[in-house]
Amino acid sequence: MKAIVIKKDSSLSWEDVPDVRPGKDEVLIKVYYAAVNRADLMQREGTYPPPPGCPEWPGLEVSGEIVAFGQGAMRKSGLHIGDKVCALLGGGGYAEYVAVHCGLVMPVPENCTMAEAAAIPEAFATGYLNLFMEGGLKAGNVVLVQAGASGLASVLIPMAKAFGAFVITTIIDEQKRSVVAKTGADLIVNTREEDIVQVLRSFEEKGRPVNIAIDCLGGANMGDCLPYMGYMSKWIMIATLAGDLTQIDMRKLYVRNVRIVGSTLRSKPLQTKIKILNNLVKKLWGKVSSGAVRPAIYKILPITEAEAAHSLLYRGQSAGKVVLQVREGNV
């Protein structure tokens, strides 16, 4: 089979790799689409290696068709040969086939294309993990989502809105405001024109402080925002794209009982991931099918153009998810 291989010079190459076969409790999926994530770029740079036992080629989420089962997988999963599914992976999604634990495989939601389905597992699981399991989201909460034009934010914002939150998000490019507005965000702050710290301060002064912040940026600005978070609020760090260091006023942190949470989905134990995906199907699939929560696809490119797909993320040009098409003729 073929897969995208990261070469020694960090370039990407579509080439032959050893065939994958399903092990115990695993299913083999013929991949139709693979979605691109920031973690793929970090893996390419050598800063985010795949977990032990995962293929060395990138890719955290796919859609496709089940073509084989390993021992015990059909009985445990209730799935069948030919089922159209999407799956959460530890790696290896940029390939013609993937083998994955049956508990990490989900049916494609009704009214959802295969390209959209590929953009669901990683982003939706990350959204559920951080909004509900880490953040404890409740209706009426004020939620800050940094980097509103990102693929993850395109899921986080409508997910939070679907459960009754008021959402503030940030952009750095005014041309992306109209796209981000389609997510349903209540307030979009262009941080090149407005100070997000002052925005959060004004909300705090009005008695509506932020309850949950989901931050993929970090940097100096993070520490400046913390004093204006609500009592018992949570600032959840999922990446540090704007910098690893910040300065924090510890007194304001403990007086307000603010929690800083470090969170990443990839390193979570298998059973935790299975629990998250089960909750997605139970609590969110109806909202996906109705269109209330839907992955926003920015661009679909052939798998052989993975370099171009990564460049869109590197340059910050995407507003939504970038998806790679592995096979022609699948929608």
Residue 111 pLDDT exceeds 90: yes
Q: How confident is the model at residue 330 (pLDDT cuts 50, 70, 90)?
A: low
DSSP bridge partners of 106 = 86
Nearest 5°: the CA angle 53, 54, 56 is: 120
* DSSP secondary structure letter of residue 305: G
Note the pLDDT of residue 50. 87
- Cα 109 from Cα 118, distance rounded (Å): 11
* Domains, in order of start, for the chain: 2-120+296-325 (3.90.180.10), 124-262 (3.90.180.10)
Note the pLDDT of residue 98. 98
Largest Cα separation within the chain, whole Å, is 60
Name residues whose C-beta falls within 8 Å of residue 324's C-beta, 6 or more positions apart in sequence: 33, 34, 35, 36, 94, 300, 301, 302, 303, 305, 306, 309
Mean pLDDT of 236-250: 94
pTM of the prediction?
Answer: 0.91
**pLDDT tens-digit map of 150-167:** 889 999 999 999 999 999
Listing DSSP states for 109-168 in one string gives PTT--HHHHHTSHHHHHHHHIIIIIIT---TT-EEEES-TTSTTHHHHHHHHHHTT-EEE
Q: Do residues 135 and 212 make contact, with C-beta atoms less than 8 angstroms apart?
A: yes
- Cα 196 from Cα 210, distance rounded (Å): 12
Name residues whose C-beta falls within 8 Å of residue 308's C-beta, 6 or more positions apart in sequence: 301
